[in-house]
Structure 1
Amino acid sequence: MNIDRVEFLAWMERINTRFDLVCEKINEFHYKRSTIDGDELLDNQDILLMLKISYRSLQRYRSSGKLPYYSISGKLYYKLSDVHQFIRENFKGRIVKPPLERK
């Protein structure tokens, strides 16, 4: 089976057009994160990775009222601004000094 150059180029153009459409859809989905009042919503997994804490610690922060959350259809979400406020209030910055160089 042999196809000529013109037909091959036409098929390649169609394929590239389809890839462009898929790329646009992926970008739309990526930038259309859940928001509330214009603030991005994060789920449990996002918070666990961001704060590098265990699920139990996150549950403790919720229970104590330190970290506000929203329950939507049984799933928990946190506003990004609330998380930043929580970090500022609860995690005091430590300055880590670099190790001394040995001579």
Structure 2
Amino acid sequence: MEYMMVEKRSYERLVARIEALARRVSELCRRQDKALQPWLDNEEVCLLLNIQKRTLQRYRERGLLPCTQIRHKIYYKTEDVERLLAASALRSGSKR
């Protein structure tokens, strides 16, 4: 086992910074929306919007539908998909 000596003042500063960090993390966690919405994958979004995967890719590329990629899988927030659906309904309603 290896030991290291640290000045008391340095140790106290380190502890104070760790405590400040812990408070900040707790504060950020409290701010988060507790009712997390489920995330949708490509297949689910394509079914909901009745579109092909290539069309969904174009939506992402054009910034019409924000997404998050985790490893090789892409996810969408439910509220973003609903917003796109609502916008689409408004556009199709104004064409009549």
TM-score range, shorter chain: 0.5 to 0.7
Q: Which residues of 2 match residues 35-74 of structure 1 at below 5 A?
A: 38-74=36-72
Q: C-alpha distance in 1, partners of 2:82/2:36?
A: 15
State the AA in 2 paired with 1:76: I
Q: Which has the higher contact order (CA 8 A, sep 6+)?
A: 2
Q: CA RMSD in A?
A: 2.2
Q: C-alpha distance in 2, partners of 1:38/1:74?
A: 22
Consecutive aligned runs of 4 or more in structure 1 exceeding 2 Å deviation: 90-95
Q: C-alpha distance in 1, partners of 2:58/2:92?
A: 23
Give the TM-score normalised by structure 1: 0.52
Q: C-alpha distance in 2, partners of 1:38/1:55?
A: 26
The one of 73, 78, 86 equivalent to 1:75 is 73
State the AA in 1 paired with 2:62: S
What do the CA deviations read for 1:49-96 (whole angstroms, capped 9, x no partner)? 11110111101100000000000122000000110011112333757x
**Identity over the aligned pairs, expressed in percent?**
37
Q: Number of aligned pairs?
A: 60
Give the TM-score normalised by structure 2: 0.55
